[in-house]
Amino acid sequence: MHRMEKGRQRVKISPAMLFKTHRVTGNNAVSIKRKFPARLAVGLLIAILIDTALQLVWKSAVLTLPHDGSPWLNVQAILQNPRFVFVIFLMGCQFFNWLMILGDADLSYAQPVTSLSYVSVFFLSVLYLKEAADVFQIAGIMFVLVGVWFISQTEHLTQAQESDV
């Protein structure tokens, strides 16, 4: 715990306070962190779920393509495969969901938070697609989780933008 002299008063600042927005009044440090909108939380969750589904369906669709190396046969197979149509549908859903998210949050907040789809894609790829996982990949997943936690401790909307909304 650090102490800063302010005239004759001492203001205590803990390390946890460094990650929050505070207003100091007299002897009190008052947290002014804004409430996190439920609409934004739902939008971010939907973005993670859509991206996870998109990546898994896309991979499973690619596995059905012919392996003869002919680009023309691949184009024909893509046009006839309903999984690829579903991939395009998911991309459209993702586009409209992002329109809603970006209306409620900064891109510098929302994009890192939705990187949680990297975590879900990793575990579901190992579980359902039988992909291998090693210690370095797991360490990378841990870094993603820690990074998202740090981002989640910040404000979701820049002060100037919040007053414009």
**Confidence at residue 165, expressed as pLDDT on a 0 to 100 scale:** 56
**Confidence at residue 12, expressed as pLDDT on a 0 to 100 scale:** 53
Whether the model pTM is above 0.85: no
Q: How confident is the model at residue 99 (pLDDT cuts 50, 70, 90)?
A: very high
Cβ neighbours of residue 100 closer than 8 Å, sequence gap 6 or more: 39, 43
Cβ neighbours of residue 76 closer than 8 Å, sequence gap 6 or more: none
- Averaged over 1-24, what is the pLDDT? 48
Alpha-carbon Rg for the chain, nearest whole angstrom, is: 23
**In the predicted structure, residue 13 carries a pLDDT above the cut 60:** no
Sign of CA dihedral 102, 105, 108, 111: negative
Sign of CA dihedral 69, 70, 73, 79: positive
